[in-house]
Amino acid sequence: MIKNQLKTFVLIAVLTALLLFVGQLIGGYTGLIIGGAFALLMNFITYFFSDKIVLALYHAKEVPKDHEVYKLVHEIVQLSNLPMPRVYTVPSTSPNAFATGRNPKHAAIACTEGILKLLSKDELRGVLAHEVSHIKNRDILITTIAATIAGVISYIANMAGWAAMFGGFGGNRDNNGGNNLVRLLVLAIITPIIAMLLQLAISRSREYLADETGAKTIHNPIALAHALEKIHHNVARNPMRFGNESTASLFIANPFSAKGMIHLLSTHPPMEERVKRLKKMA
């Protein structure tokens, strides 16, 4: 667990350093300040409104207190010493679940109708423990920060690329053509790729941590391992038919078709490795 936390800290630090580098590259100290202000503004908006946006996007409906999922979540948050989150169901036959919200006091957990039909009670408990662990570990905030910084880097790189093509980028085209071209290549092509890879690495490390924390909370890593195997095989045959792929990292398994994707570009760790680690815990 400590190893995963340290890895996340290092990746966030590198991603932040990359943002500052991009800001400095396009405008020195002023560019650095602009990049930082951009990141803070986007983080503020996302921090306060992301849960409402995601729940609305997936047509989530809040469940009553006598619902089976509500009772299971209540049991798990008591074990985790957390406030009770809001609990929702999503009208989709694709089996999946996600957690969202800016902090433990303003959190929500949602399960698709498909996952309720697919899993046994113990397996569902394992999935919900995973989602509660995301709340406990503040993963929603961490992944939001990572996604925001990566998004700002891509945005600045894109704007700088256009500026360079139209003769901007700080200087005379004739005198600094070589330097401008190098900056364009670094800023518009390389830095967004690095930012994306760092963001994905952070997302995968938090999934491993949530698996571990959830399994320890309910003292049943095998139940979560079996649930992940079932979800993985069923999502491949029945991916989510609506929503937005930018939200894929929120789910316990990528809800969309992953054809042609490689592990390096996935928001989630390889399912085989997740299952292997859980079975090792047992």
Contact 114, 94 (CB under 8 A): yes
| Catalytic-residue membership of 131 | yes
**Per annotation, catalytic residue among 123, 131, 207, 212:** 131
Q: How far apart are CA 107 and CA 101, in angstroms?
A: 4
Please report which helix (H) or strand (E) contains residue 28, including its range. helix 2-57
Rg (C-alpha) for the chain, rounded Å, is 21
* Amino acid identity for residue 200 in this structure: L
Closest CA to 3 of 168, 225, 251, 206: 206
Burial label for 175, CB within 10 Å (0-12, 13-18, 19+), is: exposed
From the list 47, 208, 196, the residue with the least C-alpha distance to 137 is 208
Three-state DSSP state, 211: helix
Which are the catalytic amino acids?
Answer: 131
